[in-house]
Amino acid sequence: MSDFDVVIAGGGVNALACAATLARWNLSVCVVERNANVGGGAITEEVTLPGFKHDLYGSSHVWIQCNEDFKAIQPDLERYGLKYIEPKDHITGHPDRNGGPGIVIHKDIDRTCDSIAAYSRADAARYRRVYEDFEQVREGFVKAFFSPPAPPSALPRALETNEPGLRRLREFSMSARAWVETNFENDFIKAVMLNWALAPQILPDQEGAGQSFYIMIPAIHYYGQAIPEGGSMELPKAMARYVEAHGGKVLTNASVSEIIVENGRAAGLRLEDGRTVRGRRATVSALDPKQTFLRLLGEDRLNPDFAAMVKGYSFGKISICRAQLALAEEPRFLNGEAMSAAPFHRIVDSMEQMTRFYAEIAMGIPPSDPFLWSACWTKLDPSRAPEGKHTLIFDTYVSNWLADGRTWNDIAEDYYAKTLLPKLQQYAPNIAGDVILGKYLQHRGTLETANLSFVEGTTNGGERIAAQLGSFRPFPGYAHYRAPVRDLYMTGPHCHPGGAISAMGTITARVMLDDMGIAPADFW
Ligand SMILES: Cc1cc2nc3c(=O)[nH]c(=O)nc-3n(C[C@H](O)[C@H](O)[C@H](O)COP(=O)(O)OP(=O)(O)OC[C@H]3O[C@@H](n4cnc5c(N)ncnc54)[C@H](O)[C@@H]3O)c2cc1C
């Protein structure tokens, strides 16, 4: 098989973002994907009924909107079929079944604060101050997000010199639960904000999560909540077309079995069918670190200290139980038209519910009263369903193991029927009977079969604990996307800045272009 300048294992968004950035600088790149389609965590399939397009995994594209290297190729990607659609006004709904009006997060900060003020004027004012803070740090945040991580001392060093800085550092160090308890007074608002902050699968009492509020709250108003017309997968499809149009190749149904090492350098990939694809200048693994180093490279090629770090890498214990529905009509939520106008909803009742929820997860018990995330993307993008019809995703986090020894394959149907759907119906009572035209369930069993990078059904490429963030992600000394074998690079959610549809593969490409002397990076 032919040689390329660079060969990349895995065909998810980050591999393709890396490939597209390299291709933009005239390198020939081959992307090797095990599945029949590229996309990985951004796959769209008609899993319920013909004509109903369901985003099976990642669906809301927030962080990619502030990736400058992605923006540079976006006009070309649009020529290859990518078209982002953004809600103009209503973004997220938080319905309330306990007598309150619910909260709607609008693109517009004033309307959002009005909605929060119906519960507490003080909390609305606090929300606004967090939003306004962002302007001071926006440029620095975007740069830090899309650069190799700064040293662990950089943030404390910048903030520790005066009292306001120290106060901020203290807030940044708090757990998400401590932060909402300190900053808000109303229980429903606390639960809504806590639930939102835990979306990247951090735990409520995990310290160091306080800073996420100062990014998450403003970012939704600045960058919105875009989705690709036709489904999440239109992004990786357009990227694959871009790579091929620039002289590259995207191989599908091609499973990597080995990273070839010759003369002490990574020289390409061997596939399970025996073929080899050679990378003259570099090889990239966009696969999780355990697969990359223990299976594809082999422990015998690793320094024992490094092998120990790989073995100790934690994916966490949280998975998801998700239902995909084909619907005859859109969901009508409690709290009126403005609530139903939002395309997606985070449904949570109280801080007490959050506490019980995470206690049950820790004990391997299916959450008895789960919070829900739901998205009806067809409200924004009617092309995803037959005329007048809709799709709905709704899910909750669950432990990826069960204390009673059963598996999610055993209990998912029952959990959907007895817990998930009844919970949704408390808030959107019309989702019942003949309105539900089709259903498809997802859980640990389906996730780990579909994508080897969803290790044990986890969704985020590695736990977001302090010991695995920034300069420690994936391992101390290896946070700059270079593996311990010459000409082998890493990209994906186990690298900074972590899991999401952010196209962070562009950072790996920037490091490589710098190392190759092709284009100096501006982030060192
Ligand atoms: C249920 C769920 C919901 C999510 N929701 C959101 C969301 O709404 N917004 C958001 O921003 N993020 C979301 N995420 C996270 C996001 O989807 C991922 O972080 C992101 O897609 C990771 O992209 P990636 O390209 O690094 O890796 P992946 O997309 O995981 O790609 C890895 C690819 O490598 C392939 N592969 C694995 N082993 C081999 C092998 N041996 N040979 C060849 N190929 C191989 C896999 O098939 C896969 O295609 C969600 C994730 C999940 C699971």
Residue nearest to atom 26 of ligand 1 (CA): 492
- How far, in Å, from the CA of 262 to the mean position of ligand 1? 29
Residue nearest to atom 41 of ligand 1 (CA): 256
Question: Which atom belonging to ligand 1 lies closest to the Cα atom of 450?
Answer: 47
Residue nearest to atom 38 of ligand 1 (CA): 452
Residue nearest to atom 36 of ligand 1 (CA): 10
Give the pLDDT of residue 138.
Answer: 81
Pick from 146-150, 184-188, 215-219: least confident? 215-219
- Alpha helix (H) residue ranges in 25-120: 68-79, 109-117
Pick from 135-144, 211-220, 273-282: least confident? 135-144
Pick from 186, 221, 256: which residue ends a domain?
221
Residue nearest to atom 50 of ligand 1 (CA): 58
- Amino acid making up residue 485: V
Q: In angstroms, what CA-CA distances link 336 with 91, 109, 207, 332, 475?
A: 15, 20, 37, 8, 48
Give the angle subtended at the CA of 461 by the CAs of 455 and 467, to the nearest 5°: 115
Q: In angstroms, what CA-CA distances link 375 with 159, 226, 341?
A: 39, 13, 11
Inside any domain, residue 105: no
33's tokens: 């994907």
pLDDT tops 80 at residue 420: yes
The mean pLDDT of 493-504, rounded to a whole number, is 97
pLDDT class of 30 with cuts at 50, 70, 90: very high
pLDDT class of 142 with cuts at 50, 70, 90: confident
Question: Which atom belonging to ligand 1 lies closest to the Cα atom of 460?
Answer: 19
Question: Which atom belonging to ligand 1 lies closest to the Cα atom of 322?
Answer: 1
Q: What are phi and psi of 277, to 5 degrees?
A: -125, 120
Q: SS3 for 254?
A: coil
Pick from 156, 191, 221: which residue ends a domain?
221
Inside any domain, residue 296: yes
Locus of tokens 């809301």: 60
β strands within 220-273, DSSP E: 227-228, 249-251, 256-262, 265-271
- Is 201 in the same domain as 237? no
- How far, in Å, from the CA of 520 to the mean position of ligand 1? 29
The mean pLDDT of 125-132, rounded to a whole number, is 95
Q: Among 215, 376, 452, which residue has the most ligand 1 atoms within 8 Å of its CB, making it the best to mutate?
A: 452
Domain of residue 133, residue span: 127-221
Q: Residues lining ligand 1, CB < 6 A?
A: 9-15, 32-35, 40-42, 57-60, 255-256, 286-287, 320, 451-454, 459, 461, 492-493, 499-501
Inside any domain, residue 365: no
Characterize the bridge pairing of strands 103-106 and 90-94. antiparallel
Express as a percent the part of the chain with pLDDT over 70. Answer: 100
For 474, residues 6+ apart whose C-beta sits below 8 A from its C-beta are 289, 309, 313, 462, 468, 490, 494, 495
Cα-to-chain-centroid distance, residue 320: 13
- How far, in Å, from the CA of 453 to the mean position of ligand 1? 7
- Is 142 in the same domain as 166? yes
The mean pLDDT of 221-237, rounded to a whole number, is 94
Q: Among 18, 32, 57, 60, which residue has the most ligand 1 atoms within 8 Å of its CB, making it the best to mutate?
A: 57
The mean pLDDT of 37-49, rounded to a whole number, is 98
Q: Among 501, 506, 508, which residue has the most ligand 1 atoms within 8 Å of its CB, making it the best to mutate?
A: 501
- How far, in Å, from the CA of 173 to the mean position of ligand 1? 29
- How far, in Å, from the CA of 41 to the mean position of ligand 1? 3
Question: Which atom belonging to ligand 1 lies closest to the Cα atom of 56?
Answer: 1
Q: H-helix or E-strand containing 238?
A: helix 234-245
- How far, in Å, from the CA of 207 to the mean position of ligand 1? 26
Give the pLDDT of residue 416.
Answer: 98
Q: Among 459, 473, 491, which residue has the most ligand 1 atoms within 8 Å of its CB, making it the best to mutate?
A: 459
Here the CATH number for the domain that contains residue 271 is: 3.50.50.60
For 393, residues 6+ apart whose C-beta sits below 8 A from its C-beta are 54, 55, 59, 322, 323, 324, 325, 373, 374, 375, 377
Identify whether 148 is preceded by a cis peptide bond (ω within 30 of 0): no
Q: What are phi and psi of 319, to 5 degrees?
A: -120, -155
- Is 131 in the same domain as 217? yes
pLDDT class of 10 with cuts at 50, 70, 90: very high
β strands within 411-502, DSSP E: 436-442, 488-490
- Is 159 in the same domain as 73? no
Characterize the bridge pairing of strands 276-285 and 54-55. unpaired
- Is 149 in the same domain as 171? yes
- Is 242 in the same domain as 199? no
Per DSSP, what are the bridge partners of residue 105?
A: 92
Inside any domain, residue 432: no
Pick from 37-41, 151-155, 345-349, 413-417: least confident? 151-155
The mean pLDDT of 421-437, rounded to a whole number, is 98
Give the pLDDT of residue 46.
Answer: 98
Report CA dihedral (50, 51, 52, 55) to the nearest 10 degrees.
100
- How far, in Å, from the CA of 396 to the mean position of ligand 1? 18
Give the angle subtended at the CA of 460 by the CAs of 142 and 150, to the nearest 5°: 35
- Residue 183 to residue 199: CA distance in whole angstroms: 19
The mean pLDDT of 13-18, rounded to a whole number, is 98
Inside any domain, residue 300: yes
244's tokens: 């091929």
- 73 compared with 2, residue with greater pLDDT: 73
- Is 75 in the same domain as 132? no
Mean pLDDT computed over every residue of the chain? 96
Characterize the bridge pairing of strands 103-106 and 3-9. unpaired
Give the pLDDT of residue 1.
Answer: 60
Task: Please tell me what DSSP assigns to residue 300.
Answer: G
- How far, in Å, from the CA of 181 to the mean position of ligand 1? 33
Inside any domain, residue 11: yes
- Residue 5 to residue 51: CA distance in whole angstroms: 40
Q: SS3 for 376?
A: coil
- How far, in Å, from the CA of 38 to the mean position of ligand 1? 10
Give the pLDDT of residue 135.
Answer: 78
pLDDT tops 80 at residue 325: yes
Give the pLDDT of residue 133.
Answer: 86
Question: Which atom belonging to ligand 1 lies closest to the Cα atom of 17?
Answer: 25
- Is 216 in the same domain as 252? no
371-403 confidence digits (pLDDT tens): 999 999 999 999 999 999 999 999 999 999 999
- Residue 30 to residue 4: CA distance in whole angstroms: 6
Residue nearest to atom 34 of ligand 1 (CA): 10
- Is 144 in the same domain as 192? yes
Express as a percent the part of the chain with pLDDT over 90. Answer: 93
Pick from 187, 221, 255: which residue ends a domain?
221
- How far, in Å, from the CA of 463 to the mean position of ligand 1? 15
- How far, in Å, from the CA of 40 to the mean position of ligand 1? 4
- Is 294 in the same domain as 237? yes
- Is 208 in the same domain as 276? no
- Is 307 in the same domain as 240? yes
- How far, in Å, from the CA of 312 to the mean position of ligand 1? 21
Inside any domain, residue 98: no
247: left (phi over 0), alpha (psi -120 to 50) or beta: left
360: left (phi over 0), alpha (psi -120 to 50) or beta: alpha
For 20, residues 6+ apart whose C-beta sits below 8 A from its C-beta are 73, 239, 242, 243, 246
As for how many domains the chain has, the answer is 2
pLDDT class of 177 with cuts at 50, 70, 90: very high
- How far, in Å, from the CA of 24 to the mean position of ligand 1? 23
Cα-to-chain-centroid distance, residue 449: 19
Q: SS3 for 22?
A: helix
306-321 confidence digits (pLDDT tens): 999 999 999 999 999 9
Q: SS3 for 487?
A: coil
CB 282 within 8 A of CB 509: no
Question: Which atom belonging to ligand 1 lies closest to the Cα atom of 32?
Answer: 43
Inside any domain, residue 434: no
- How far, in Å, from the CA of 73 to the mean position of ligand 1? 21
pLDDT class of 136 with cuts at 50, 70, 90: confident
